[in-house]
């Protein structure tokens, strides 16, 4: 009788182990890898929904659980090499679908749109060669999305895209005398680099070429008001430069009579340190013969608002 009583706890323990094993299998079914893309923004700009009709590309690597990407990346298994991800009835996935490897974590890299010819390496991250910002194609990329576990996301990987470019906006307000009205005819920056090479690691960086252009931000004759108003904006290649703002204004009296046409005003150099994913808003304070400016900088703007 004592021998039976001795075995009962052992039997209960064995049943508990089997039960836990079955429960683990039940709650860890085979999962397809899927995605949830978005365009990131900080608290001073609206986050953007990723365009549903625009495919993007991903690289996926797997490592055993508890082996981190930062330490073991050289041992990672490649699951998807620049695989195209599309929206199918509201689900973002690639074809053929990929099963999430059992007891493996995934690290992901992505870029958009597919019109851009990008590559990936462990040393430089996502790279884009010979990019021309005047092409009208504006690249988005992700920083490494590392050590993702299917235990917590149901197999769906969040993909936070950041713009690889910077956005420049000019605003203007009149500081002229009360009996003077200014009309802005041109607002430009000369010698702006517009071609270059991008790499996302170890930090997101552009290497511009020597080629430069002039950027025009004023598309029409604009009366300059006392309160600040938007003149124009452009997507630009991140770069460091010292560039004066060049204005051309017409000067009127308060009765609408033209006093002087085409007066050129040049500001002190704008110290440009434009970085990846940043939004720079410059407010120009214009008089009849001078211009000063103030600068606001925002992180990770909604890149759809070009």
Q: What number is the average pLDDT over the span 246-268?
A: 95
* Phi (first) and psi of residue 9, to 5 degrees: -60, -35
Q: What number is the average pLDDT over the span 23-32?
A: 62
Per-residue model confidence (pLDDT) at position 5: 53
Q: Which residue has the higher pLDDT, 247 or 21?
A: 247
Per-residue model confidence (pLDDT) at position 44: 35
pLDDT band at 41 (very low <50, low <70, confident <90, very high): low
Average pLDDT, the chain: 88
Given a cut of 60, is residue 1 above it in pLDDT? no
Per-residue model confidence (pLDDT) at position 63: 97
Q: Which residue has the higher pLDDT, 5 or 192?
A: 192
Name the strands in the sheet holding 166-174, side by side, starting at the edge strand that comes first in the sequence: 229-236, 166-174, 278-286, 291-299
Per-residue model confidence (pLDDT) at position 29: 66
Contact 268, 294 (CB under 8 A): no
User: Among 6-10, 131-135, 240-244, 255-259, which stretch is predicted with the lowest mean pLDDT?
Assistant: 6-10
Distance CA 47, CA 54 (A): 17
Chain segment 208-245, per-residue pLDDT in tens = 999 999 999 998 999 999 999 999 999 999 999 999 99
- Count other Cβ atoms within 10 Å, centred on residue 59: 21
Q: Which of 113, 272, 274 is nearest to 204 (CA)?
A: 274
Specify the pTM.
0.84
């Amino acid at each position: 009788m004592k021998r039976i009583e001795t075995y009962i706890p052992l039997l209960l323990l064995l049943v508990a182990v089997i039960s836990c094993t079955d429960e683990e299998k039940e709650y860890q079914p085979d999962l397809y890898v899927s995605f949830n893309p978005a365009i990131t923004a900080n608290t001073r700009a609206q986050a953007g929904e990723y365009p549903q009709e625009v495919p993007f590309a991903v690289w996926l690597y797997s490592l055993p659980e508890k082996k981190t990407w930062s330490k073991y990346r050289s041992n990672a298994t490649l699951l998807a090499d620049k695989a195209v991800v599309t929206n199918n009835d509201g689900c973002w996935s690639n074809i053929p679908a990929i099963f999430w490897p059992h007891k493996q974590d995934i690290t992901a890299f992505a870029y958009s749109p597919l019109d851009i010819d990008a590559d990936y390496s462990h040393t430089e991250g996502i790279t884009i060669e010979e990019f021309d910002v005047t092409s009208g194609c504006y690249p988005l990329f992700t920083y490494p999305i590392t050590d993702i576990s299917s235990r917590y996301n149901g197999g769906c990987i969040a993909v936070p895209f950041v713009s690889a470019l910077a956005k420049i906006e000019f605003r203007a307000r009149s500081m002229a005398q009360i009996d003077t009205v200014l009309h802005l005819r041109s607002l430009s920056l000369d010698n702006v680099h517009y071609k270059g090479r991008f790499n996302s690691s170890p930090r997101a960086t552009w290497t511009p070429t020597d080629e430069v252009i002039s950027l025009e931000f004023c598309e029409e004759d604009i009366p300059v008001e006392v309160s600040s108003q938007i003149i124009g904006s452009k997507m630009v290649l991140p770069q460091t430069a010292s560039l004066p703002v060049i204005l051309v204004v017409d000067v009127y009296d308060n009765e609408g009579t033209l006093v002087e046409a085409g007066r050129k005003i040049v500001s002190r150099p704008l110290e440009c340190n434009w970085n990846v994913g940043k939004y720079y808003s410059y407010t120009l304070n214009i008089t009849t013969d001078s211009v000063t400016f103030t600068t606001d900088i925002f992180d990770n703007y909604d890149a759809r608002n070009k």
